[in-house]
Amino acid sequence: MAQNKMDKIFLHGMKADTLIGVYDWERERMQTLILDLDIGVPKTSALSDNIEDTVHYGDVCEAVRRSMKEQQFLLLEALAEHIAELVFEDFNALWIRVRITKPGILPNVREVGVEIERSRSDEDD
């Protein structure tokens, strides 16, 4: 994925609550995760100066947070895939990188997490 040659918007350090984890003690209450999203947008969005020609990052933030409160996952990988699909379906993104951090879950480890990258061409695989 040639992200460095494409236009993108990003949301970094976005906090969102969800019920996630494979252990019973993880599923007793919602956890706050930290998300970094990089979303490919058409280069025409920079030329038109029209919000309708781009991905509205405020709407993405609301949709992702709402979905994370409604959905439950065991694995961060499954949640990351869900977020990628949501952004593709609802916001017509060209590509996405989703990084999810679960801070403070392991002793003496600042954070654990997962990162995935998807593009529209991946949907054909």
The catalytic residue positions are: 102
End-to-end CA distance of the chain: 14
- Residue 62 makes CB contacts below 8 A (sequence gap 6+) with none
Contact 42, 53 (CB under 8 A): yes
Classify 42 as helix, strand or coil: coil
Helical segments of the chain, H only: 44-48, 57-70, 76-91
- Work out whether strand 7-20 and strand 31-41 pair parallel, antiparallel, or are unpaired: antiparallel
